[in-house]
Amino acid sequence: MPARRRVPLAQGQEALAACARAGDLARLGRQVRATAVRYSLEELAARAPGRTVEVRVPPFGAVQCLEGPRHTRGTPPNVVETDAQTWLMLATGRQRWEQAAQAGAIRASGQRADLSAFLPLTSAE
């Protein structure tokens, strides 16, 4: 069952496109960044449905994705957590997963916590 969309598609796509074009994400404003993060998390869940990995981008949102064994209680065995700027850089293709992981900008635990095959969600053009 795909994740339920909360961000209207047009609004989310517009916010994510603004992030892809922006030179400095911090200058976009909190509302645009929040919308882009929430939309991109929903998009990830739609493209990789499941409940094996929990992706957290505090304070804006979290989503479960990827098929496989699912957890039902407590902390899931596969968790990815990062800040909004790093997540948006990954989602727009402005940074690669490996670069962010080596820089310590991603906290990932579990065997299935590598999302590099699913990112970027859009490209920075």
Q: Residue 68's pLDDT is what? A: 81
Candidates 92, 72, 76, 90; CA nearest to 22 is 92
Q: Residue 76's pLDDT is what? A: 76
pLDDT, tens only, 46-104: 999 988 899 999 999 999 999 887 666 677 789 999 999 999 999 999 999 999 999 99
Which element (helix H / strand E) includes 11?
helix 9-21
Q: Average the pLDDT over 22-47 and give the result.
A: 94
Q: Is the pTM of this model over 0.75?
A: yes
Q: Residue 18's pLDDT is what? A: 95
Assigned token pair, 52: 């094996």
Q: Residue 7's pLDDT is what? A: 93
Residue 98 contacts by C-beta under 8 Å, 6 or more apart in sequence? 116
The span from the CA of 26 to the CA of 51, in Å, is 31
Report CA Rg, the chain.
14
pLDDT at 111 over 60: yes
Q: Residue 72's pLDDT is what? A: 67
Q: Residue 124's pLDDT is what? A: 57
Q: Residue 125's pLDDT is what? A: 53
Strands 53-57 and 61-65: antiparallel
Band of pLDDT at residue 39, cut at 50, 70 and 90: very high
